[in-house]
Amino acid sequence: MNRSTSEKLYQEALLHIVGGVNSPSRSFKAVGGGAPVFMKRASGSNFWDEDGNRYIDYLAAYGPIITGHAHPHITSAIIAAAENGVLYGTPTQLEITLAKMLKEAIPSMDKVRFVNSGTEAVMTTIRVARAFTKRSKIVKFAGCYHGHSDLVLVAAGSGPSTLGIPDSAGVPKSIAQEVITVPFNDLDSLQEALEKWGEDVAAVMVEPIVGNFGMVMPQPGFLEGLCKLTHDNGSLVIYDEVITAFRFHYGSTQTYAGLENHHDITPDLTALGKIIGGGLPIGAYGGRKEVMEQVAPLGPAYQAGTMAGNPASISAGIACLEVLRAEGVYDEMERLANRLADGLQQSADRHGIPLTINRIRGSFSTHFCDHPITNYEEAQDTDGERFASFFRHMLNRGINLAPSKYEAWFLTTAHTDADIDATLEAAEESFSAMATEQ
């Protein structure tokens, strides 16, 4: 596959954009380096690069593009918004519509505030929790990524880990000291941490289903235990649902039937992003009324945004949720993901390549190892070189994945059985070639 234009553009990008990319997760550093592919156009489940090569896309822009690229309903909403003016700096009725849709789908959110990214949403939930509890520390789980604000960049999963940056430079020690990190799925460690530092802990922050060191389910009882321990300690529970909300069904993990006892667990604050903006920049956070009333202009916790709630992002978000609300949409993504994951597993097995797949509905992660993946340590202990080889073989056969062994494959409403057939054919060839490389 000729990708000479991407290579040329990468050299040019390096002159002007730090590292040639506007998010480090787009770099190919972890998969052997070299030029990332410069995409020119996308439609449905397909990408075309600057050299005219076509790819089937399973990156879905790290999650938001759950309806496939350039979905006509979302595109029309964006065009209509653009024609009406893209930024007002005043409230609009559209914001109420999307806020109501989110509240209906995620009942723990009495009040919502829109921001511009998942990072901002998470960052603000922490400020609000600190304002409400008048405490300063937070507990997070190793390998969970919560955006790039200072406090949560400790042991922060996929992005930094892919690049071998366990804890970011530039985060003052005094801030890092405010974070306690414990292993996911390990209630004893959480209990110990709360026994030791409990009276300073404002919040326990968790990805209720992890999306940042693969797709990892909480073990039965983990989230209930987490909520009980946290609330007994007088701390707040923050769910980071930036990846998970509207991913597995129309709602969040808080209403997801795949999680037992989900009805018994109510986080105090929830952070959202990605899907709820239909591909345009967005974030949102919300929660219990008394807690959210800490936020300015009602309360003393300040958070603002020139672009927050802009009509274009909000319109795209409403349109995206309208598509997802249709009957059967999630079942079909799951059917295709199941076919694909099963086929990949069989193909890897046939070639003697150890592969563990964690699939949850229409998303899954592939780990080159023969142990289960239930926490970050296990996800780290997988074969990165083999992943890099698989990634490149697949790319050269027109399959676009995230260039990181920790990231998931996302099915969209635009994928078809023909996409799955073509992907499995590419995987069979890739595994076959990899078997001879051993």
Provide, rounded to whole angstroms, the least separation between the CB of residue 212 and ligand PMP.
5
Residue least distant from ligand PMP (Cβ): 118
* The token pair that represents 397 in the structure block: 């056969």
CA distance 376 to 176: 19
Of 145, 239, 285, 376, which one is the catalytic site residue?
Answer: 145
Q: Which helix (H) or strand (E) holds 323?
A: helix 311-324
CA distance 106 to 93: 20
Distance of alpha carbon 418 from its chain centroid, rounded? 26
Check: CB of residue 147 under 8 Å from CB of residue 158. Answer: no
161 CB-contact burial (10 Å; exposed 0-12 / middle 13-18 / buried 19+) = buried
Closer to ligand PMP by Cβ: residue 274 or 386 = 274
Alpha-carbon distances of 399 from 108, 340, 351, rounded to whole Å: 39, 13, 20
Provide, rounded to whole angstroms, the least separation between the CB of residue 57 and ligand PMP.
17
Of 240, 268, 285, 406, which one is the catalytic site residue?
Answer: 240
Closer to ligand PMP by Cβ: residue 262 or 386 = 262
Look up 145 and say whether it is catalytic. Answer: yes
Closer to ligand PMP by Cβ: residue 280 or 341 = 280
Provide, rounded to whole angstroms, the least separation between the CB of residue 114 and ligand PMP.
13
Closer to ligand PMP by Cβ: residue 218 or 398 = 218
Check: CB of residue 315 under 8 Å from CB of residue 396. Answer: no
Provide, rounded to whole angstroms, the least separation between the CB of residue 232 and ligand PMP.
25
Provide, rounded to whole angstroms, the least separation between the CB of residue 120 and ligand PMP.
7
Look up 40 and say whether it is catalytic. Answer: no
Q: SS3 breakdown of the chain: % helix, strand, coil, rounded to 5?
A: 45, 15, 40
Among left, alpha and beta (phi > 0; psi -120 to 50; other), residue 420 is: alpha
Closer to ligand PMP by Cβ: residue 108 or 117 = 117
Q: Which residues bind ligand PMP (CB under 6 A)?
A: 62, 117-119, 122, 145-147, 207, 211-212, 240, 242-243, 273
Of 274, 330, 376, 419, which one is the catalytic site residue?
Answer: 274
Look up 274 and say whether it is catalytic. Answer: yes
CA distance 109 to 267: 9
Which residues participate in catalysis according to the annotation? 145, 240, 274
